A and B are shown apart, each in its own frame.
Chain A
Amino acid sequence: MLRPRIIPSLLIQDNGLVKTVNFKNPKYVGDPINAVKIFNEKAVDELAIFDIDATVKRQEPNYSLIERIANQSRMPLCYGGGVKTVEQAQRIFSLGIEKIALSSAVIHNPSLVTQIAERVGAQSVIVVLDVKKKLFGGYEVYTHNGKKSTGLNPFKFIEEAQELGAGEIVINSIDQDGIMKGYDMSLIDKARNSTSLPMTVLGGAGSLDDIQAVIKRHKIMGVAAGSLFVFKGVYKAVLINYPSKEEKEKLY
């Protein structure tokens, strides 16, 4: 039986691991290499790593950090942050990363999806959309850590990304980020109805029950979480955690 993927999502800023709330107030939670080592030991289904500095500060991806992460990992890895060209994407693949997540670069230059997919295969190109509720209903895509609005309708953009040759869509809810009160199920439903591509959802998980709710409704989907896998308890003490194989089997 094919299983849904349960995916820790890690944010990197200034070479440190951080966690945000509504994309703001990054709190330092530890050393990224150490976290990757622990997630590796816990046999996570897949790991997503987003450098939240790279685009905002117009930096190149931090290749040496990416390489050290890849060297520690024997699970599928997704990297996002600051990737604007085919050459950058290829360099990251050569370090041992399977999937490249594109966000702001794709919104400004949609053909980048096609260019990268042609070189390395569509399965490796992920389009990430950071999505926020609009004041009077509906949703909008944001970039630059939720600071720049784009005016784009996420569901229309998902369809466009599929046509351009993306291999997977990640929907990240800015409103739910770090709140730990559950996923935005109506956002997920709408996104799911917009494409048959593999999809991963992120933003809001506060318990394994929240993850199970998505799996029960959508079956084969990537279900990602940040806070849930780095914090423990009401006071949010930092503790890297992840369900065991037996605990996961109960969620399917």
Chain B
Amino acid sequence: MITLIDYGVGNINAFVNVYKRVDVPVKIARTKADLIGAEKLILPGVGHFDHAMNQLNRSGMRETLDELVLEEDVPVIGICVGMQMMANSSEEGQLEGLKWIDAKVKKFDERKIDQVTRLPHMGWNDVKPAKDILLFEGLENNAIFYFLHTYYFECNRAEEILATTTYGDEFASAAHYKNRYGIQFHPEKSHHYGEILLNNFSRI
């Protein structure tokens, strides 16, 4: 069973659709009570960092999520801004992050991107796994994923980088620490590549 955290930010329906196709049961959590007994958590997110943090902090679920992730070691995956929220802080906003992974979120250096549209980083790009783990099992070597973001995740400990992608510079398009995973791209919008990845998460 996968629990999708619905705090009013992010495309919950897209995840429901993917898991329906691969026949994995999902539950949508909108309150603290909905989180009881969660086995695996997905934290989606789009838009502005502070808006997303505010919404989560006001959802009534924040404290329980910290308990589940930090004390009970429930596997959690943050997607896009959901990944960025797992960091300590973001250059996009003033609020503190969840501090689930030791990282900061920075804006891409536009000077290193040689094209008219520099930001956002939007479209399909390569994801190079840095480690051989279950999350990437069954993915082709040339798997590509859909990205849409202006800020990127920078791990303070290099060994927590799970995959890299190049846009101007190379950045961590996936990260992993203990029971916590973050991915910058959108698996729910990345065809069979994303379906494989989300299905793998359900088996972690």
Chain A contacts to B: CB under 8 angstroms: 1-5, 40, 43, 45, 70-71, 73-76, 93-96, 98, 120-121, 123-124, 167, 192, 196-199, 218-221, 245
Within 8 Å by CB of A1, from B125, B188, B191, lies B125
Q: Are B124 and A5 in contact (CB under 8 A)?
A: yes
Within 8 Å by CB of B148, from A45, A75, A123, A196, lies A123
Q: How far is the CA of A155 from the CA of B166 in the complex (A)?
A: 32
Using known A-B contacts A2-B167, A196-B117, determine if residue A98 contacts B11 with beta carbons closer than 8 Å: yes
Q: How far is the CA of A45 from the CA of B188 in the complex (A)?
A: 13
Question: What 11 new A-B contacts, CB under 8 Å, besides A199-B117, A220-B123?
Answer: A1-B125, A2-B123, A5-B123, A70-B14, A73-B17, A75-B191, A121-B47, A196-B117, A197-B117, A198-B120, A220-B117
What is the chain B residue whose CB lies nearest that of A77?
A: B189
Q: Across the interface, which residues of A come within 8 angstroms of B116, CB to CB?
A: 192, 196, 218, 220
Q: Are A95 and B13 in contact (CB under 8 A)?
A: yes
Q: Across the interface, which residues of B come within 8 angstroms of A43, CB to CB?
A: 191-192
Using known A-B contacts A75-B146, A197-B117, determine if residue A120 contacts B188 with beta carbons closer than 8 Å: no
Q: Taking each of A75, A192, A199, which has the highest tally of chain B beta carbons within 10 Å of its own beta carbon?
A: A75
CB under 8 Å from chain A, chain B span 1-30:
11, 13-14, 17-18, 21
Using known A-B contacts A120-B47, A196-B116, determine if residue A74 contacts B123 with beta carbons closer than 8 Å: no
Q: Across the interface, which residues of A come within 8 angstroms of B36, CB to CB?
A: none
Q: Are A1 and B166 in contact (CB under 8 A)?
A: yes
Q: Are B148 and A220 in contact (CB under 8 A)?
A: no
